[in-house]
Amino acid sequence: MSQDTRKMFMDVIRKWTPHLDEPATDDCWAPEIEKAGLDKIKEIQSEKLEVAFRYIYEYSPFYSKKYKEAGLTPKDIKSIDDLHKIPVTDKEDLRRSIAACPPWGDFSCLDDHYWKQDGWTIWWTTGSTGAPVPCRYTSFDRVTQAWQAARHMYMSGFRRGDLAMFCAPFITHMFAWAHLKGLELMKIPAIPAGPPMPTEARIGHILNYRPTLLLGTPTYMIYLGETIREKGISAKDLSIREILIGGEPGGSLYATRKRLMNLWGCDVCDGFGTTEVGALGGHAHTCVYETKDQGRNSNLHFTEDSGIPEILNPKTFEPMPDGENGTIVWSSVSTVSQPILRFNLNDIMNIQSMDCPCGRSFRMAKNGVQGRADDMIHISGVNVFPANIEEAVRSINEFGNEYRLKLMDGKKGMINLVVEVEIMPEVPENDHERLLGVLQTRIFDKCQVNPKIESVAYGSLPRAEFKSKRILDLRAK
Amino acid sequence: MSQDTRKMFMDVIRKWTPHLDEPATDDCWAPEIEKAGLDKIKEIQSEKLEVAFRYIYEYSPFYSKKYKEAGLTPKDIKSIDDLHKIPVTDKEDLRRSIAACPPWGDFSCLDDHYWKQDGWTIWWTTGSTGAPVPCRYTSFDRVTQAWQAARHMYMSGFRRGDLAMFCAPFITHMFAWAHLKGLELMKIPAIPAGPPMPTEARIGHILNYRPTLLLGTPTYMIYLGETIREKGISAKDLSIREILIGGEPGGSLYATRKRLMNLWGCDVCDGFGTTEVGALGGHAHTCVYETKDQGRNSNLHFTEDSGIPEILNPKTFEPMPDGENGTIVWSSVSTVSQPILRFNLNDIMNIQSMDCPCGRSFRMAKNGVQGRADDMIHISGVNVFPANIEEAVRSINEFGNEYRLKLMDGKKGMINLVVEVEIMPEVPENDHERLLGVLQTRIFDKCQVNPKIESVAYGSLPRAEFKSKRILDLRAK
């Protein structure tokens, strides 16, 4: 009977994986899904959720126990209207599961036999918070993941005839791997040029081999463009047609996007995904319309068939009204390795129905990812997201791309926030004070806080090749 | 007509790719080929060579010109008996082709249209000598390459139920990529743990997740095992069942293998492959019999269906008698991207028919790769291979794994060779002189030269994470 549930789940996943080998039309890989309309998507989600819940209940010891404790049986979950009955879960649950059953934990639906017969790879969460969690995926998942990633990139305008170059490492983060699998399916060749390849060699490859697509983090893509500019070469005149950024919140911020567009003279698309809940090439991406400069932050389409997004109050887990920010909670219903229901991603987003010129009916997140709930800093009763400060810094041309936030002990248990910025070397010194004042105002407009702003020598702040850490907590522990 | 030749070539490649999805038997992936016998293999090679030559003649501008200048037409090459008519080619040809037609050269059989429609990846030669050469491969090649790599690893004893871990980088070297594709086909899951992941994290993964297979260079695998030993942990007690080494000559040397076996308490297999001629998961590998400790250097099976090996005199390109050392010249007849005929790999090997207990009929290279022809040092009229010195150093337990050769100007244009070695810290100082004397004798026995031997502080010689460079040329230019 158990075996039947796995087979049943795999059959449902396959049923909703049309056009496995190539796109259906010139502008949309799988229009039956991507342009299906909200009602049809809810039907698909309900069909997948019912069997996914039964499957997890039967196969995942950790969640089976958790669901039984919550008084649930497989019969209780028939459609997405029952979703709220399922307890929210988070990374701490995964860590507890691993601590109890090392080294993999007992949260996934793989037993040792199945893993040995159909195993493919292991990636680890990037550990923005706490110890990395290993996530195993199978050959079955590899196919679905490649299809999801290809659909996303196709939506963002990647096409056969392009040449992609990776500026992110192929190690234990899923970012590069998931997109590589998609590119293989799309028959777009890829140059693997992530670390430990040095930046100089990467620039040489761009100049010599003229890739049209780059993939990496926004931080590194800006660094790369600037390094090219320092050589007296305009990156705008090179071959790059589009950049896919991911791995950091803030990829949808207009200030960051504009820096990229100004440096590279190309379109920019943002991708948002999470290793724990399927690594399916991202849960939300920019479509080809949003990759263009719209003079604002970009909006992301959720992949509502691969999972079910909810936006909840980060504390009470009550649903937020459409269009209001909250933590995103994702139910993964397209992987046999580790489907997870109502997993709190701890990223701040919103969700709303919008008519997008691209024609897709998936709901969207206006302005993309606002920041990680974990990164949220409470200053004098105000919630501050580093991404908002990033936006303020990068909106002023005279500042460099880097910034750093220092948290210091203030009076009576308060936090003093210091924002370190780099003023561009060509800016005359007698203009510095004015610029710092402008920044102060912009930060206050965005965040309602008044941090101390300090300028440091240009180039002195740390530059990361992959994900950046820009918060320095100097408070006494 | 042109299109017909490509199709004809692809059909022949497919015809000789049996059991594309899984192995035929418990001990051999494709026995129709691997156990076919020498005569049948010659038939297969002849069938492939005839159409490969026509295909290259029609599709590769560079080789078309070269062959016409040699007075050849497609009708001249009917079987491997005609192979000697084809001029030998080498890396300099590829460089000339690239210089004339940057950035790809005109040596491959891909036109821009085909590359854009079926492109997959680009790897670069590791540049043991000179500037790296870009090698493009297509989706069609990806399938054949994965099959070849899987066959090799299956021959070496890798099985479903294993868990592999990569200690080599996924950047522009084909080593890790080719084996990854093979593992995907074999449904053996793989942990991508190459650089820039630090050694400490890699050790953590081995301790936590208990991989059974490791892949990397011999140098790094010894370094990793020693680093584990320094922590007071015996690598023998860990989970490793077999190590696949490649990327450096010397992987078949008993002294090196024995160090690995002593450190890890496991089997060791060696793989030999070259990016330029198909990247088909290696041209020669150790079979499961040879992965065991046989008390001698290991022998490698050539993959005689994927290409045609010849052992020639490095200067005259006349065939060497069976069993005698010469440079290996490889004719690649299983890739549509860049088949190359009679490509001088510049590696010193031999070839001979041997009855192997594994039952495969492919001819073998006794002792594997002896060294690179380029690395050969002429000392007082004697050809010295660094691999022989490596063997001598590592045969004495009191020496560390590292060594370095310094070439200095001697009298009358002669070369003075200095061998630097590290004596293990626990060896009493009054025994040093005797040990250096033993090494002197062993080097003379192997190489007929008497270098100056110097001991340097333990740990002072450079350690590489990937391929090692151990020759320091200090002669006035």
Q: What pLDDT is attached to residue A371?
A: 76
| Local structure of A382: helix, strand or coil | strand
Distance from CA of B117 to the nearest CA of A (A): 6
Least confident of A60-69, A338-347, A426-435, B122-131: B122-131
First to last CA, chain A: 53
Return the exposure string of B74-88: e unless at least 16 CB atoms fall within 10 Å of the residue's CB, then b: beebeebebbeebee
Is the per-residue pLDDT at B444 higher than 70? yes
Distance from CA of B336 to the nearest CA of A (A): 15
Token reading at A313? 């109050």
Q: Do B194 and A170 touch (CB under 8 A)?
A: yes
Distance from CA of B328 to the nearest CA of A (A): 29
Is the per-residue pLDDT at A2 higher than 60? no
Is the per-residue pLDDT at B439 higher than 80? yes
CB B120 within 8 Å of CB B138: yes
Is the per-residue pLDDT at B189 higher than 70? yes
- Those of residues 161-190 in B touching chain A at CB distance below 8 A are 161, 163, 169-172, 177, 184, 187-190
Which residue of chain A comes nearest to B190, CA vs CA?
Answer: A121
Is the per-residue pLDDT at A393 higher than 60? yes
Is the per-residue pLDDT at A409 higher than 90? no
Pairing of strands A300-302, A364-365: antiparallel
- Residue A233 CB burial class (10 angstroms; 0-12, 13-18, ≥19): middle
Q: For residue A121, which residues of chain B lie inside 8 Å, CB to CB?
A: 189-192
**B143 has a chain A CB within 8 A of its CB:** no
Q: What pLDDT is attached to residue A390?
A: 86
Nearest to A160 among B117, B169, B191 (CB): B117
Q: What pLDDT is attached to residue B465?
A: 64
Pairing of strands B300-302, B307-312: unpaired
Is the per-residue pLDDT at B130 higher than 70? no
Distance from CA of A464 to the nearest CA of B (A): 13
Comparison of pLDDT for A407 and B212, the residue scoring more: B212
**B458 has a chain A CB within 8 A of its CB:** no
Q: Do A171 and B197 touch (CB under 8 A)?
A: yes
Query: Which of A170, A174, A239 has the most B C-beta neighbours within 10 Å, making it the best mutation to test the interface with B?
Result: A170
Q: For residue A136, which residues of chain B lie inside 8 Å, CB to CB?
A: 189
pLDDT band at A140, cuts 50/70/90? Answer: very high
Q: For residue B338, which residues of chain A lie inside 8 Å, CB to CB?
A: none
Residue A265 phi, psi dihedral angles, 5° rounding: 60, 45
Is the per-residue pLDDT at A242 higher than 60? yes
Work out the percent of chain B whose per-residue pLDDT is above 90: 69
Q: What pLDDT is attached to residue A4?
A: 92
Query: Which of B159, B184, B191 has the most A C-beta neighbours within 10 Å, making it the best mutation to test the interface with A?
Result: B191
- Those of residues 85-124 in A touching chain B at CB distance below 8 A are 102-104, 115-122
- Residues 6+ away with beta carbon under 8 Å from A412: none
Question: What's the average model confidence in pLDDT over A65-89?
Answer: 97
Which domains are seen in chain B, by residue range? 377-473 (3.30.300.30)
What is the rounded CA–CA span in Å between residue B247 and residue B245?
Answer: 7
Tens of pLDDT, residue by residue over B265-317, are 999 999 998 888 876 656 999 999 999 999 999 999 999 999 999 999 988 99
Q: What pLDDT is attached to residue B474?
A: 85
Is the per-residue pLDDT at A128 higher than 60? no
Q: For residue B139, which residues of chain A lie inside 8 Å, CB to CB?
A: 184, 187
Q: Do B187 and A163 touch (CB under 8 A)?
A: no
Nearest to A192 among B117, B170, B197 (CB): B170
**A132 has a chain B CB within 8 A of its CB:** no
Q: Do B120 and A194 touch (CB under 8 A)?
A: no
Question: What's the average model confidence in pLDDT over B325-353?
Answer: 94
**B357 has a chain A CB within 8 A of its CB:** no
**A413 has a chain B CB within 8 A of its CB:** no
Q: State the DSSP H helix or E strand holding residue A311, giving kind and residue range, or none if neither.
A: strand A307-312
CB B218 within 8 Å of CB B468: no
Q: For residue A122, which residues of chain B lie inside 8 Å, CB to CB?
A: 189, 191, 209
Distance from CA of A422 to the nearest CA of B (A): 28
Q: Do A134 and B190 touch (CB under 8 A)?
A: no
Which residue of chain B comes nearest to A466, CA vs CA?
Answer: B196
Tens of pLDDT, residue by residue over A196-207, are 888 888 999 999
Q: What pLDDT is attached to residue A381?
A: 65
Count of CB atoms situated within 10 Å of the CB of A62: 20
Is the per-residue pLDDT at A363 higher than 90? yes
CB A419 within 8 Å of CB A279: no
CB B170 within 8 Å of CB B194: yes
Cα angle at A51 between A50 and A56, to 5 degrees? 105
